[in-house]
Structure 1
């Protein structure tokens, strides 16, 4: 692409013949390509320690958010499946509100709105740490999507199994804990893993509130060196390594938990 643009400029502006000008520029670009690649590799290797440091924060925020998200999601899914309307309604409202608004807006609401809400209710200032705001926003967002994953998994289990468990004297909670949820969990591992991968990649949105995660670390380096292209290539490589590793772990867990075929 670079060759094409340079040759096109020469063809338009050169006073010599177009063929001679194009050959001259092409030869010049070929000579410069090794140094250009070396420069890009230099920037990628130089920025990599900063990217790895930012990736640690990315993994930390994502991991904590996943733990809270699974807890919230399981609770909301059980509330949505409840026969009592006063339990079902809050679950439905929560899932619809979170899934119906952008994650970036939720991050901004938590970071800027939560301190103002606490100030209005208590009269005390509550400066919130950007990482804490990110964990809260990600946990709430992930919880809504995980709730739908759990709900679909639970409803995929044959209803007769619950009836059989109840006929054996099990209560609803015991039957759900010992019979339904273990089977549902094995079925939801693939979509649950996809949700975790999406959450990992969405962590780049935390740069808007100043979290020094992977993308922010790269942006700071690019601003200092005026080398955005190799920097963002390095960021993409780090994200690729993390997502591929996570997807392989999910696949391994799926194989380990899948029922053995006789």
Structure 2
């Protein structure tokens, strides 16, 4: 079998556009899933016990169903009532999916913070809300960095699933070039290398962040 990477060079700008879309989606989803997951966890654990069961059901629902099925339900379900761009559906689908996983992690790390931290904070004059957001949440967030970081690495790779609903990310961008050049193996090799490089940089960033915050745990 002979390799011919000439079509890859020809369509490399197309691949880079797809990579740009994938990175854009990943950044938005990362912010949505981390901040949203933290909010869900805080409400569930500290603020409103009545909402705890519905929020736990939300976490269970998105953790026990396939991501692709969730995307199809959102894409075709929302499409019945309103025209919405596929990239928005993709962001919402990935965001809710990883928000559930991140919320589950934050619930565990919030509960791992000693009750004495809360009592000491209140004895120093901090209110309930201030204690949560200035004392408990920062400690829980730092403890969750390894697991949240792993989730974000998985999420970046899962942006490729969005090609199933027409989002022009990296894998989707390569499909036209593959259909014209009939060189799928070469394109898939290059795409795999791109994802590998992104993962390496994300892992290095995670290691740096863990070392930076290690003394605060």
Structure 1: how far apart are the matches of 2:66 and 2:171? 19
Aligned length: 217
Residue ranges of structure 1 left out of the alignment (5+ in a row): 3-35, 120-125
Contact 1:48/1:234, CA 8 A, preserved across alignment: no
User: Which segments of 5 or more consecutive residues in structure 2 lack a partner in the other structure?
Assistant: none
Partner residue in 2 for 1:67: 31
- Confirm or deny: 8 A CA contact 2:7 2:177 kept in the other structure: no
Where has structure 1 moved over 6 Å in runs of 4 or more? none
Which residue number in structure 2 is paired with residue 98 of structure 1?
Answer: 62
Match of 1:220 among 171, 176, 190: 176
Correspondence 1:101-180 to 2 at 5 A: 101-116=65-80, 119=81, 126-180=82-136
Indicate conservation of the 8 Å contact 1:80/1:88, yes or no.
yes
Q: What is the CA distance between 1:169 and its match in structure 2? A: 2.4
SS at match of 1:212: coil
Of residues 145, 155, 173, the one that matches 1:199 is 155
Distance 1:127 1:88, change over 3 A: same
Bigger shift: residues 68-77 or 192-201: 68-77
Q: Structure 2 vs 1, CA of residues 239 and 80 (structure 1 numbering), >3 Å: closer, same or farther?
A: same
Contact kept, 8 Å, 1:47 with 1:231, in 2: the verdict is no
Partners of 2:155 and 2:213 in 1: CA distance: 23
Distance (whole Å) between structure 2 residues aligned to residue 178 and residue 144 of structure 1: 23
Shift of 1:48: 2.6
TM-score (normalizing by structure 1): 0.78
Task: State how 1:229-248 maps to structure 2 within 5 Å.
Answer: 229-248=185-204
Which one of 196, 202, 211 corresponds to residue 167 of structure 2?
211
SS in 1 for 2:54: helix
TM-score (ref. length: structure 2) = 0.93
Q: Highest CA radius of gyration, 1 or 2? A: 1
What CA deviation, in whole Å up to 9, does each residue of 1:117-136 have, x standing for no partner? Answer: xx3xxxxxx21101011011
Name the CA shift for 1:99/1:109 in 2 (closer, same or farther; >3 Å): same
Secondary structure at the residue paired with 2:84? coil
